[in-house]
Amino acid sequence: MIHMLTWFSTTFILINFCRGSNLEHDGWVNIKLEHCLLPSDSPIFTDRGNITIQSLRLGQAIVNQNSLTQEERVQLKEMAATNQFYQIRSTVVSNDGTENVFLSTIKACMLAEAQLDDRLSVSLDYTGRVIGITLLIASKSTCEGAVVPLSKLKEFTTSVYVRHPEVGPVPDTASYIQKMEREREAKERGEVKDNRSILAKYWMYIVPVVILLMVSSMANPEAAANGGGASR
Ligand SMILES: *[C@@H]1O[C@H](CO)[C@@H](O)[C@H](O)[C@H]1NC(C)=O
């Protein structure tokens, strides 16, 4: 009986260990967005705007983007007409101070025909780190050759989607240890504040112990009746 309970609580703790690693600690990121409107072998990127994702868990983003100048609108229209690619460079600064750069490319005509209504997909691994940023056009899959007036190429209306890892709880000790290391470092710098009560933090350890105590106290009177008080 006790054997089975020990097994049960160990399994219970293990399940929580794995599940807890799926974005247990929330974080924020700042993304500096740049784009290239003059395609060449060595692209020159200019400022497009900034995105702040305040909560990776909730996917809340604040998007601040420049309007395209008349000159930039003409450049984009020209890129679309000549079937060139529009490229963005996203520089991600995370709350642990790391900086990562991601490039993403779409056909300029898709962006133009969607009238700058694009989507930024931010992919996370299960430790909450950004592992990719992809630019997409949700409303189109091909260019239709529509003529878009320059006045419709002024403002980006970008929606940001935070993609959480789809895989279920897979025990990955190396990443888990890395994650713990990063959290420890963040805690040392006083960035991560864990204000939850002891009970909220450690309930997964407390519950099995309580169950264990309850069951053994239920089992004891029985043992006392049968064995006359002999321990076990
Ligand atoms: C983005 O942030 C940079 C640096 O903080 C700033 O210079 C720039 O004006 C910002 N751009 C927008 C569109 O808010």
164 closest CA partner among 19, 22, 21: 22
Ligand 1 centroid from CA 88, angstroms:
16
Please identify, by atom number, the ligand 1 atom nearest to the C-alpha of residue 65: 13
Q: What confidence tens digit (pLDDT) does each residue in 137-195 have?
A: 988 889 998 889 999 999 999 999 999 987 655 566 677 778 888 888 877 777 655 66
| pLDDT at residue 24, as a whole number | 63
91 closest CA partner among 82, 100, 103: 100
Give CA separation, 51 vs 43, 61, 116, in Å.
22, 7, 16
Q: What confidence tens digit (pLDDT) does each residue in 35-82 have?
A: 999 988 889 999 999 999 999 989 989 999 999 999 999 999 999 999
* ∠ CA 37-38-40, rounded to 5°: 135
Helix (H/G/I), strand (E/B), else coil: 40: coil
| Domain boundary assignment for the chain | 2-163, 197-225
Average pLDDT, the chain: 82
Distance, CA of 45 to CA of 24 (rounded, Å): 35
Distance, CA of 68 to CA of 91 (rounded, Å): 20
* Ligand 1, CB within 6 Å, residue ranges: 49-50, 64-66
| pLDDT at residue 217, as a whole number | 84
Instruction: Please check whether residue 92 is in contact with residue 29, taking contact to mean a CB–CB distance below 8 angstroms.
Output: yes
Give the model's confidence band at 204: pLDDT under 50 very low, under 70 low, under 90 confident, else very high.
Answer: confident
Nearest CA, atom 11, ligand 1? 49
Please identify, by atom number, the ligand 1 atom nearest to the C-alpha of residue 47: 11
Ligand 1 centroid from CA 30, angstroms:
11
Is the pLDDT at 4 greater than 60? The verdict is no
Instruction: Please check whether residue 163 is in contact with residue 122, taking contact to mean a CB–CB distance below 8 angstroms.
Output: yes
Candidate from 30, 47, 69 with most ligand 1 atoms within 8 A of CB, to mutate? 47
Distance, CA of 29 to CA of 93 (rounded, Å): 6
Is the pLDDT at 112 greater than 90? The verdict is yes
CB count within 10 Å of CB 215 equals: 15
